[in-house]
Structure 1
Amino acid sequence: MSRRYPEFEGRCVFITGAASGIGAAFVAAFAAQGARVAFLDTNRDAGEALARQYGARFHECDVTEPAALAATMGRAISELGALDVLINNVANDQRHPADALDPQTWRASLAVNLDPAMEASRVAYEVMRPLRNGVILNLSSINAHLAPANMAAYVAAKAALIGLTKALAREWGAANIRVNAISPGWVVTERQLELWLTPEGEAEWMRQVALQRRISPEDVAKLALFLASDDAALITGQNFIIDGGRT
């Protein structure tokens, strides 16, 4: 159970890529605080089920289409009545050897892992600026620092998100909009268990970390709650690593 943040009661939160994994943990965490939550994903069945479970609003959307993303956010914000917190979570950590990254594959990766954060932030800024208040959280990764093999496009996008975070924090600070990044380590989600997290891989991970435990989506959500809360009112332009001491 996360600590209680009374200020979230009635605040409006929008999350991209939130039908499963870390994004679903964000939905659950903010809804439990009394926030009004809307989120998007391409997985309609999972999204609708999650929305029913937590009283949130689900919108189906392909974030690789900027116009569709902007329109979906507009509808969601109209339904919520405002926008206080944006979490740019959507990502795809598909592996590709660097020498196999043709221009189409490269652009396809950035179209999911980088571009939607800027488009969603632009839409959020237009809503938050007149109110002189708002929080934007960008989900990066420790892979931006570690740069593992076969993830060049993903690594580049996640590193760019840290730079984007700093740039937007500086530019939009005058409107009292705070922008921070979260860089998780190896978070144990259903996708990771299905595709990448082998017993051998996890054993190697445990040899590299200081804290001998798995990182859960809920661990990341607790950090997001703090960064979006009034307790973090003077924190902006920062990248927060949550990896059990790996980096």
Structure 2
Amino acid sequence: MIAIDLSGKTALVTGATGQLGRVMARTLAKSGADVILHYFRNQEQALVLQQELEQLGRSAFIIQADIGQIADVIEMRETLSTNFKMPDIVVGNAVSQYEWTSILEQDMQDYVDQFQTTVLQAVHLSKVFVPHMIQQQYGRMIGINTECAMQNEPTQSAYVAGKRGMDGIYRILAKEIGEHQITVNQVAPGWTLSERDLATDPSARQDSAYIQQVPLQRRGTDQEIANVVAFLASDLASYITGAYIPVTGGNVMPAI
């Protein structure tokens, strides 16, 4: 049986205290990776997750930063190089939250926040952590995108603007650093069921207008997203780079 084996690797997950971030961190740890848990405000949840991963037999290190600020990301690198270790795998997952509305009504700061936590996050993570990957001639950069980047529906403007900009950064990065055996890919979730959804709202699994558009006729789960991230982080995906991979049950389908 072919298995995902990340033994000996270290993964950084930004936004690790969020619903999807926690599942990705657990999945990478269960695959054998030690995990760096980035958080912005929720230190309490980071400590809980750290303990959970350590109980799985993995090393886990928590670190705070505003991922949209280059000085914070540089400080992350200095802390990790001194007190833990540098990541072989970087999962850019953090993004600011805001209330979606029309372009005419959307607050300008929402566009700035999305730019900082999508486009600039990708740039900052690349500038700070890719040089180590180049030095070791190995690495995995994985960005969490969204199906919205293909949908372009009303009220999605700030989110889509940030994620489409991030898409360009990662595609160019894939071409610029591929010679060093570093892969750069994106995972694009659809509207997924989180652990919180499953625990608090049993009706979330039922039919809805969204589900009727999905060929698989259901919403996916955070675990199904995390499974693809783990695959891309592994050597099973060693010849995949520059990809935007929807995990949407077929709700969006990139065309050739």
TM-based fold match above 0.5:
yes
Cα gap change, 1:192/1:62 in structure 2, threshold over 3 Å: closer, same or farther?
farther
Match of 1:246 in 2: 251
What do residues 83-118 of structure 1 show as CA deviations (whole Å, max 9, x unaligned)? Answer: 210000111352132113454332122112321121
Match of 1:141 in 2: 146
How far does residue 78 in structure 1 lie from its aligned partner after superposition?
4.0
Give the Cα–Cα distance (whole angstroms) in 2 for the partners of residues 210 and 178 of structure 1. 30
Match of 2:167 in 1: 162
Cα gap change, 1:72/1:227 in structure 2, threshold over 3 Å: closer, same or farther?
same
Q: Does 1:4 align with 2:3?
A: yes
Give the Cα–Cα distance (whole angstroms) in 2 for the partners of residues 199 and 226 of structure 1. 27
Give the counterpart of 1:87 among 85, 91, 106: 91
Give the Cα–Cα distance (whole angstroms) in 1 for the partners of residues 196 and 102 of structure 2. 20
The alignment partner of 1:28 has SS state of helix
Could you list the runs of 4 or more consecutive aligned residues of structure 1 that deviate by over 4 angstroms after TM superposition? 190-194, 197-202
Cα gap change, 1:90/1:193 in structure 2, threshold over 3 Å: closer, same or farther?
farther
Give the Cα–Cα distance (whole angstroms) in 2 for the partners of residues 93 and 207 of structure 1. 27
Match of 1:15 in 2: 13
Could you tell me whether the CA contact under 8 Å between 1:73 and 1:120 is conserved in 2?
A: no
Match of 1:60 in 2: 64
Structure 1 unaligned residues grouped into runs of 5+ = none
Q: Does 1:176 align with 2:176?
A: no
Deviating more after overlay: 41-50 vs 58-67: 58-67
The alignment partner of 1:98 has SS state of coil
Could you tell me whether the CA contact under 8 Å between 1:36 and 1:80 is conserved in 2?
A: no
Could you tell me whether the CA contact under 8 Å between 2:39 and 2:65 is conserved in 1?
A: yes
Could you tell me whether the CA contact under 8 Å between 1:165 and 1:238 is conserved in 2?
A: no
How far does residue 70 in structure 1 lie from its aligned partner after superposition?
2.1
What do residues 4-52 of structure 1 show as CA deviations (whole Å, max 9, x unaligned)? Answer: 323x112111111111211111110111122110021121111111111
Give the counterpart of 2:25 among 9, 20, 27: 27
Give the Cα–Cα distance (whole angstroms) in 2 for the partners of residues 192 and 153 of structure 1. 25
Structure 1 letter corresponding to 2:29: A
What do residues 137-186 of structure 1 show as CA deviations (whole Å, max 9, x unaligned)? Answer: 01110100101221211101111222111100000111111100111100
How far does residue 200 in structure 1 lie from its aligned partner after superposition?
11
Cα gap change, 1:62/1:192 in structure 2, threshold over 3 Å: closer, same or farther?
farther
Cα gap change, 1:105/1:20 in structure 2, threshold over 3 Å: closer, same or farther?
closer
Q: Does 1:44 align with 2:49?
A: no
Structure 1 letter corresponding to 2:112: R
Give the counterpart of 2:222 among 209, 217, 236: 217
Could you tell me whether the CA contact under 8 Å between 2:67 and 2:121 is conserved in 1?
A: yes
Deviating more after overlay: 169-178 vs 199-208: 199-208
Could you tell me whether the CA contact under 8 Å between 2:115 and 2:162 is conserved in 1?
A: yes
TM-score, with structure 2 as normaliser? 0.86
Which one has the bigger helix percentage?
A: 1
Structure 2 letter corresponding to 1:48: L
What percentage of aligned pairs have identical amino acids? 25
Cα gap change, 1:113/1:72 in structure 2, threshold over 3 Å: closer, same or farther?
same
Could you tell me whether the CA contact under 8 Å between 1:184 and 1:220 is conserved in 2?
A: yes
The alignment partner of 1:183 has SS state of strand
Structure 2 letter corresponding to 1:73: R
The CA RMSD over aligned residues, in Å, is: 2.3
Deviating more after overlay: 48-57 vs 102-111: 102-111
State the number of aligned residues.
242
Give the Cα–Cα distance (whole angstroms) in 1 for the partners of residues 205 and 11 of structure 2. 38
